[in-house]
Amino acid sequence: MQDPFKGFNDDDGNNNGNGPQGLPLPPNYATVVNPKTGNMRIAKVGFSWTMFLFHPFPSIFRADWYNLLCIIGVELGLQMLFFLLVPLNDRAAASSVVELGIAVLWGAIYNLMYYRHLFTRGFVPADERSRDLLTRAHYWKPQD
């Protein structure tokens, strides 16, 4: 199979550790696996553009119900706070700024939230490349 990520291979030239069935992974994606069930998840490490643009749909598509409920709860709380603190005649202008701020917040932290929840469910990095990527991004804390 042709590698669509040419030039992004790791130092050993092994197509970023190869994903499932030998498919290459982009350099900023990590693979985690649950050793008890064999369940494997692959997701991006870093800013989530899909969460920035389409929140909360990425959590629905990943079946990440825990984080979806957290996101809905935080958004409802922020909306209530917004309506309590911002006067009625200023809401139109401030609403777009608040929505942009919320979108940037979820884009910045959603992938971290997703991986941390997987780790609490027993998932661990599937290979050394994923472990290094998750450790460098401070998503995974090596076990001593």
> In terms of pLDDT, which residue wins out, 144 or 128?
128
The number of domains in the chain is 1
Domain-located, residue 89 = yes
Beta bridge partners of 43: 30
Q: How many residues does the chain have?
A: 144
Find out whether 115 and 140 touch, Cβ atoms under 8 Å: yes
Work out the average pLDDT over 124-137: 93
Work out the average pLDDT over 47-56: 93
Domain-located, residue 55 = yes
Domain-located, residue 50 = yes
Domain that holds residue 104: 15-125
Domain-located, residue 61 = yes
Domain-located, residue 38 = yes
pTM of the model: 0.81
Give the C-alpha distances (Å, rounded to integers) separating 32 from 65, 79, 118.
18, 34, 8
Instruction: Report residue 144's pLDDT band, with 50, 70 and 90 as the boundaries.
Output: very low
Domain-located, residue 42 = yes
User: Cα(41)–Cα(33) distance, rounded to whole angstroms?
Assistant: 6
Domain-located, residue 9 = no
Domain-located, residue 47 = yes
Burial 45-78 (b: 16+ CB within 10 A, else e): beebebbbeebbebbeebebeebbeebeeebeee
